[in-house]
Structure 1
Amino acid sequence: MKNIKIKIVALLLIFTAGSCDYLDVVPENVATINDAFVDRASAERFLATCYNYLPNFGDPWVNPGIGAGDEVWFNEEIVESSFSSALIARGLQNANDPYLNFWDGSQRGKNLYVGIRDCNIFLEEIHNASDLTELERKRWVAEVKLLKAYYHFWLFKSYGAIPIIRENLPIYTNTEDVKVYRDPVDDVVNYIVELIDEAMPDLPERLISETLEQGRITQPIALAIKARTLVTAASPLYNGNTDYASVVDNRGIALFNQSYDESKWQMAADACKAAIESAHAANHSLVTSYTTKADISDTLERECVIRTIFTERNSPELLWGSTNFTFSQSYQRMCVPLLIQVTSSNPVSQFYAATLRMAELFYSKNGVPIEEDLNYDYQNRYELRTARTDESDFVRSGEQTAILHFDREARFYANIAFDRGTYFLDPTYYTVHTRAGELATKRNQGEFSATGYFVKKLINPNSAINTNTMLAYYEYPFPIIRLGDLYLLYAEALNESKSTPDADVYEYIDLIRERAGLEGVVESWEKYSSNPSKPATKEGMREIIKQERLIELAFEGQRFWDLRRWKDAAKYMNKPIKGWNIGGKGLNFYNVTTVYPQVGDPFSTYDFKDYLWPIRYNEIIKNPNLVQNPGW
């Protein structure tokens, strides 16, 4: 009877009538879950399946953090029905059949409730693996608890209040008990933290083998997930957001707390500090050096340092990388502009376009926003000037390009490739040519940048090109969490927990700025900004920290989620997507053009409803206890 019960529970989907593919967990012709835990090898396959529900972070079509926002834009010729994140960016999210539906696993979303269910099965049955050591058993249980916590976290940041699934329902559960309720946001957050705290003692500080265990959860990863969860919960979207006052279920329970609680920021700060200390103890550190094959200047070396923060396979800054979906050659091809004549008909795709908005985001070389810099010609930034010889590390000497591309911080040149800009692939220097008819313009259907910009950050300097295939790219696990992210989360949480920013707030943001070759926040604003007292106030420092995060974590899949939790998404998403005139020959290229008209397009207006995704309409019909998110 027990085996029958377990089998049925394993197949039961609380939120959908579909079925689950166990991948390689249950051998062919074996009928019960008990057989999946008959020995260590079988149990380890089930452990791998629990990991398999992690989102494909390196896939721009299914990671909303990459394609559903405003930092990259894909041209209209390449976007089709399967490019779910790009369709969300165009305002086409809907309740009938939501894109990237992680609630019940449709439209290229993974069914995270099935993932949670499988985690529960693992926790219930792992004791049956007879040849598993107690030390291994404890570690595996801790890993699965963390995965379960992370799946709840992903659902939380996507949908807000969600049903907490502490354990699987027994087979004898009646129909009404299956119709679960969404739990209030504060309860969800507390449960995620509870799971993490339970798991922490049995997780390793570092992986035993970086080669064999890459991607598995450690203590620094667990504490970083806790920090992200608590920062998200303390942020304006969830902390005293009165927009959700009407979200009350049929029991009369409010799903979003309407009272702002400053103590949530202190809890978040404490969690960030603990995560940083754990990472340091495990020998994680900021990337600050790069070994080059060529004799290059200090400024170009700094650019290479910044490019390898994200793209180095064994970066000391990387806490957790996605090994179930690396940022492979096929995806890197989208980012690289055609730099040389090639013989292959399709060596590059070159349609992963950075937006003009992102090009304007990065600081001036003085470390302040270009619109604030007293020495920056902001009003004439779209006009042209000729590059000097001493600027050849970033712009080809003697060539004309926009003033916008001169006198910028190192992170600008490390992140974005632009017309007449230098593109260094160690040890060779290339120049980007994007004006109509030139190398990096349209070749085949959909193979062009919609804005005239490309994302350089995702390409390691040790990648190489050749005249035949142009495919010798340096692959790496797509980073999920890195130490620099934690530093900035800590600075943000500290600032919000204090009445006035102090040295502790400045310390961690200044460590990030120092690596970028910039002076500290206070010094930079005093010397160069039209608003020199900005870092002295909580509000001013909040604005600085936000921009620092948007710059430092650009193109890493974080901007989309940050803009949502800050309730800033509408401020950005309702502006047109702009770039250069990619059809313009010669200097006619340098006319700012609207690529996609967000404002005025009835399908693209970012509304407060877009801060949380809809639960599929059919799920609401099947389970009336699941109150829908507002606006859907």
Structure 2
Amino acid sequence: MKLNIKYIIGVAAVATLGMVSCTDEIKFGNSFLEKAPGGTVTADEVFSNPEYTRNFLASIYATQYYNLPTNSTNAAPQCQNYWKGMPDALGDDFHIFFNNTTVFSKYYGGSLTSAIDGNKNGNIYPYTNEFIWENVRHCWILIERINEVPDMSDAEKARIVDEARCLMAYTYFIAFRWYGGLPIIRQSFTGAESSYDLPRRSVESTVNFMLELLDTAIANKALPWAYTGSEAQSETGHWTLAGAMALKCKVLAFAASPLFNDSQPYYQGKYTLAADTCAWYGGSKPELWTKLKTACDDFFTQMRSQGHYQLIKPAGNTQEDYRYAYRIGYIMENSTEILHSVRRSRNASGNDYGWFNLGFGTEVDGSKTNDRYSYCPTQEYIEMFPWADGSPFDWEKAEKEGRLDNMFIQGDTVKGKQQLQNIRYTRDPRLYETAVVNGARQAVNWGDGRASGNNWETWVGGTNAKQNPKTNSGIYATGYRMLKYLVGSVMNRKFPQWNAIMLSDIYLTYAEAIVQTGGSFTEAIDYVDAVRARVGLKGLVECNPDKDLTSNKENLLAEIMRERACDLAFQNERYFDLIRYKRADLLERPLHGLRIYRLVKSGNTWVRSEDQWYNKSFNKGLAEDDPNFYEPSHFDFERFQITTGSRTWWSGGFDPKWYLQPFPITEVNKNYGLVQNAGW
């Protein structure tokens, strides 16, 4: 049976596309309909006017994958729906405690099936409700009809066509990581054709199709390398040559990894697949790693030639300088570390940035928030971040040396001063941008990264965490709170964006490619060290003398993956790093939180207290000899296993079917060649 195209790419009128552009608010929905008699807009009308055509392109940008859920909706694209949950909560770095999300109920609980509901939603990335096929069709419409547009230069037409190619490749890449091989669409279709032959294609064919789109855009050189100067404000967010070359690296990195590129398929020994090549290359192909290395070589050669993109250099050598360098690297629209970013709005109003509104709120302590954003960092993740000098954090060693009290900050108790003085942040600066940790200061200056004000109290009973760590619930359920892309109250009314590709990602991908192709480990380490240096960390080899990193491949790859986790939080990377390397051992490992107990001196002994300090003791007229006068600096610590949302993988093992997602059974049963993934 041939595929009825209506089921996969639809025949929606062009007029229904687009709500918000990547850079400007546009009128392309109901407002746009007013421009045409009779209440409809045809493709002929869209391509008869340059502005309509640009708006059409903007409507495709508006439905790119965006990793930060911002609102409640059953509509596509589902990436914006906070009831679904984020992929980041499936790895070992974060755990979500909101039980009404798909992640909590269907993934942690193990109840996911190939069924979908009446809104076409099922898994975390619904095959028929993410604008996958609508975007592909719209891109082809642009490519096929751009030459009809009057009063538009050939250069702009060529640029728009290559932007459409990048948009299509990006759409395919996001879906590829979830599903493996996909149907390949090579034209727009009208919906009037009698039949269509669009079966699911192999991993190799799908990868080659993405590379074909990107290689064409790269070779054409119609895209600018970067948007700079006056163009940057209006055009940043559009695909560039740098973005296209970086996306090619990411496609090849996933393709070359063991999930698809191994001596046997990932489901070997438990399941079978009607067409193995849909989820497997058919064997191990080392040349894929070579292709990745070549793509990275090409990117960095072009970057050295064209300039603009670079890792942010800290203004000084303080912890604040390093933290600020990391922050502006990912949060500022004009950052030279961002290779491609996606926006949900160009409006600076906090009300348009749901990730901030519900994830932090307008109070300096983030108290106006919601459990829907309880993506809590795990203890395993926190321990990935090294000490401030770059040496590994080792719990047992720190406990033996008596350093646990200072595992986040260290300060001086000064007579007459209630708060600790001369605060030193003792860990990797990226930690403080990623998670709320005990003792760190709440108010962070937008302009220089310096922190001041109240201390975060994440101990059991503390002002901020309250009883969350004890009950294993709420936004401090693990004893930590997520902070990435929130920054703090300074983010209120700033422009929202999410970065699809970061320069540090490509640095670390290049290091990985060098190692996997048998290149110089020293050269690979240099690329990792460049990422570490911008946040003040010493080199990998110096900090890990016992790991033999210049010759031990397994150890060096482990360090690269750890660096990726620390640098790319909420970049949709850690979970997929575990997936592409088939790390069932880490996915089925129970995760933990940290219960901190404040200790108060009672006579000659220390006793636990679950009282707040700042709200009850600071500036409350206490005498200096009162045991509650000074800011707490001595604690007990208990690492505990997460029980709320205990993942089925932790008790029953990681079933290999989870490496890829199920296609909707309703689509499979249409018999147009959509082969179901193994185990579903």
**Common topology (TM > 0.5):** yes
The 3-state SS of whatever aligns with 1:157 is helix
Q: Is 1:15 the equivalent of 2:4?
A: no
Contact 2:203 2:281 in 1 (8 A): yes
Contact 2:184 2:206 in 1 (8 A): yes
* Structure 1 segment 168-317 matched on structure 2, within 5 A: 168-169=188-189, 171=191, 173-175=193-195, 177-178=196-197, 180-200=198-218, 201-207=221-227, 209-240=231-262, 241-244=264-267, 249=274, 255-280=279-304, 281-289=306-314, 298-317=318-337
Deviation at 1:595, TM superposition (A): 2.7
Counterparts of 2:338 and 2:258 in 1: how far apart (Å)?
28
Give the letter for the 2:17 counterpart: Y
Residue of 360, 363, 378 corresponding to 1:355: 378
Residue of 475, 488, 493 corresponding to 2:508: 488
Task: Tell me the residue number matched to 1:126.
Answer: 146
Give the letter for the 1:432 counterpart: W
Deviations 1:333-373 (A, max 9, x none): 5555998689xx94677734222121111123452433499
Counterparts of 2:112 and 2:44 in 1: how far apart (Å)?
41
The 3-state SS of whatever aligns with 1:224 is helix
Counterparts of 2:339 and 2:66 in 1: how far apart (Å)?
17
Task: Tell me the residue number matched to 1:595.
Answer: 642
Task: Tell me the residue number matched to 1:138.
Answer: 158
| Superposed CA RMSD | 3.8
Deviation at 1:71, TM superposition (A): 2.2
Task: Tell me the residue number matched to 2:621.
Answer: none
Residue of 422, 425, 430 corresponding to 2:454: 430
Give the letter for the 2:251 counterpart: T
The 1:63–1:480 alpha-carbon spacing in structure 2 relative to 1, beyond 3 Å, is farther
The 1:602–1:541 alpha-carbon spacing in structure 2 relative to 1, beyond 3 Å, is closer
* Structure 1 segment 143-154 matched on structure 2, within 5 A: 143-154=163-174
Task: Tell me the residue number matched to 1:629.
Answer: 677
Counterparts of 2:553 and 2:650 in 1: how far apart (Å)?
37
The 1:325–1:485 alpha-carbon spacing in structure 2 relative to 1, beyond 3 Å, is farther
Residue of 498, 510, 526 corresponding to 1:507: 526
The 1:378–1:120 alpha-carbon spacing in structure 2 relative to 1, beyond 3 Å, is farther
Deviation at 1:619, TM superposition (A): 0.5
Task: Tell me the residue number matched to 2:654.
Answer: 606
Contact 1:615 1:629 in 2 (8 A): yes
Give the letter for the 2:390 counterpart: G
**Deviates most, 181-190 or 95-104:** 95-104
Counterparts of 2:151 and 2:8 in 1: how far apart (Å)?
35
Q: TM-score, normalised by structure 2?
A: 0.76
Give the letter for the 2:483 counterpart: K
Contact 1:227 1:271 in 2 (8 A): yes
Counterparts of 1:629 and 1:573 in 2: how far apart (Å)?
19
Deviation at 1:95, TM superposition (A): 1.0
Q: Is 1:451 the equivalent of 2:466?
A: no
Task: Tell me the residue number matched to 1:370.
Answer: 393
Aligned residues: 585
Counterparts of 2:649 and 2:295 in 1: how far apart (Å)?
42
* Structure 1 segment 429-578 matched on structure 2, within 5 A: 429-441=453-465, 448-460=475-487, 463-464=489-490, 472=492, 474-498=494-518, 501-526=520-545, 531-568=546-583, 570-578=584-592
Unpaired runs of at least 5, structure 2 = 19-27, 71-81, 117-121, 598-608, 612-633
**Deviates most, 311-320 or 133-142:** 311-320
Residue identity over aligned pairs, in percent, reads 23
Deviations 1:471-521 (A, max 9, x none): 8354442111111111000000111001x6433212211111222222222
Counterparts of 1:385 and 1:125 in 2: how far apart (Å)?
60
The 3-state SS of whatever aligns with 2:592 is strand
Task: Tell me the residue number matched to 2:600.
Answer: none
The 1:205–1:532 alpha-carbon spacing in structure 2 relative to 1, beyond 3 Å, is closer
Counterparts of 2:432 and 2:400 in 1: how far apart (Å)?
18
The 1:443–1:211 alpha-carbon spacing in structure 2 relative to 1, beyond 3 Å, is farther
Task: Tell me the residue number matched to 2:119.
Answer: none
Contact 2:433 2:487 in 1 (8 A): no
Unpaired runs of at least 5, structure 1 = 1-8, 292-296, 465-470
* Structure 1 segment 18-57 matched on structure 2, within 5 A: 21-23=16-18, 24=28, 27=33, 29-30=39-40, 32-57=42-67
Deviations 1:384-430 (A, max 9, x none): 899753699xxx9769x9xxx98433333343221223334126333
Deviations 1:140-169 (A, max 9, x none): 011001111111111111100111111134
Give the letter for the 2:485 counterpart: L
Q: TM-score, normalised by structure 1?
A: 0.82
Give the letter for the 1:309 counterpart: G
Give the letter for the 1:572 counterpart: L
The 3-state SS of whatever aligns with 1:242 is coil
Counterparts of 1:615 and 1:590 in 2: how far apart (Å)?
44
Contact 1:450 1:582 in 2 (8 A): no
The 3-state SS of whatever aligns with 2:249 is helix
Task: Tell me the residue number matched to 1:579.
Answer: 593
Residue of 53, 69, 81 corresponding to 1:59: 69
The 1:572–1:183 alpha-carbon spacing in structure 2 relative to 1, beyond 3 Å, is same
**Deviates most, 330-339 or 447-456:** 330-339
Contact 2:62 2:343 in 1 (8 A): no
Task: Tell me the residue number matched to 1:5.
Answer: none
The 3-state SS of whatever aligns with 2:292 is helix
The 1:211–1:95 alpha-carbon spacing in structure 2 relative to 1, beyond 3 Å, is same
Residue of 337, 344, 350 corresponding to 1:324: 344
Contact 2:108 2:646 in 1 (8 A): no
Counterparts of 2:573 and 2:162 in 1: how far apart (Å)?
26
Structure 1 residue runs of 4 or more that deviate by more than 6 Å after TM superposition: 337-342, 347-350, 378-387, 443-446, 601-604
The 3-state SS of whatever aligns with 1:580 is strand
The 1:377–1:447 alpha-carbon spacing in structure 2 relative to 1, beyond 3 Å, is closer
Task: Tell me the residue number matched to 1:3.
Answer: none
Task: Tell me the residue number matched to 1:467.
Answer: none
